[in-house]
Amino acid sequence: MTRRIITLVVGAVAPILVAAGPALALDDGEVPGKSLGTGLVIAIYVLIPLGAFLVIAFFSALPSALRRPRYRPGRAWKHDPLWFCGPDDPVSALSSARPGATGKGGASAEW
Amino acid sequence: MPSGKGNGEPFTDGQVREISRACTTASSESGLHYSVYVGPVEGEIRDHAERLHAALGPLASRGVLLLVAPGDRQLEVVTGKESSRRLSDRACALAALSMTTSFSGGDLVGGIVTGLRMLSEASGRELASGRSSR
């Protein structure tokens, strides 16, 4: 009778203990690794993200930095006058020019 | 020939070349002298434009001057004695309308180039119709 009880208990508990074997072992993540050290921590968590941020910011700002400021209607025009196909010496040519001397027709418009 | 430097060039070198080329092409195709002034208006725009036109000197008679004042949002086209025979005020107004449409969209260079092309074509057409009617 006693032998039967022992066999029954062993038979019931042993498979559970065998199955629980791997669960009792230490996982890889539970073993603390070597310390990184302050320098490496700063490099990985501060310098590399900061560097990535700066590179992305540089490339996103590059196209607009290369482009001329676009003309926007209604904004002030703060540039020197440009005269295409004008007289060789605009200043002296304008000094003697008076309105109505040569103009005969044309058109005007606003936007 | 652009004059004046500094205070931030409004156009890139490529854009300046584009306008210059459009100017000389229009002039050589039509036989008229096209000139484009981009800058602020001093006083009345018509007076200023006529002064600029007169400053073209011996070329003024067959000269067509376009004054574009982006700051004042005004445009003036002036034709001379000979060029007004080739380019009617109506043709000038049509080109001016097309130019201001581009300008209001923020495209200065495109508007100037289109306007020059339209004026050049209009003057060539009127020359051709003038010849055929003779």
Pick A106's closest partner by Cβ from B15, B47, B76: B76
* The pLDDT of residue B1: 45
* The pLDDT of residue B3: 46
CB contact under 8 A, B10 and A70: no
Is A89 in CB contact (< 8 Å) with chain B? no
Q: Using CA coordinates, name the residue in chain B closest to A77.
A: B71
User: With a cut of 0.90, is the ipTM above it?
Assistant: no
pLDDT averaged over chain B? Answer: 87
Higher pLDDT, B1 or A108: A108
Residues 6+ apart with CB under 8 A from B33: A85, B27, B56, B59, B62, B63, B64, B83
Please compute the mean of the pLDDT values over residues B76-83 and round it to a whole number.
Answer: 93
Q: SS3 letters for chain A?
A: CHHHHHHHHHHHHHHHHHHCHHHHCCCHHHCCCCCCCHHHHHHHHHHHHHHHHHHHHHHHHHHHHHCCCCCCCCCCCCCCCEEECCCCCHHHHHHHCCCCCCCCEEEEEEC
* The pLDDT of residue A91: 85
Residue B6 pLDDT > 90: no
Q: Using CA coordinates, name the residue in chain B closest to A96.
A: B55
CB contact under 8 A, A102 and B54: yes
Which pLDDT tens digits describe chain A residue by residue (111 residues)?
A: 788 988 988 888 888 888 877 776 777 777 788 888 999 999 999 999 999 999 999 999 998 887 766 788 888 888 889 999 988 888 888 888 888 888 889 999 999
* The pLDDT of residue A16: 84
Alpha-carbon gap: A88 to the closest alpha carbon of chain B (Å)? 8
* The pLDDT of residue B126: 59
Residue spans of the domains in chain A: they are 35-65
* The pLDDT of residue A22: 72
Residue at token pair 């996103």: A60
CB contact under 8 A, A94 and B36: no
Q: Given pLDDT bands bounded at 50, 70 and 90, which one contains residue B119?
A: very high
Is A68 in CB contact (< 8 Å) with chain B? yes
Question: Which CATH number is associated with domain B13-133?
Answer: 3.10.310.50
Q: What is the CA radius of gyration of chain B?
A: 14
Alpha-carbon gap: B134 to the closest alpha carbon of chain A (Å)? 23
Cα-based distances in Å from B117 to A57, A73, A80, B98, B131: 42, 23, 25, 11, 21
Q: Using CA coordinates, name the residue in chain A closest to B12.
A: A68
Cα-based distances in Å from A111 to A48, A88, B72, B108: 51, 31, 9, 12
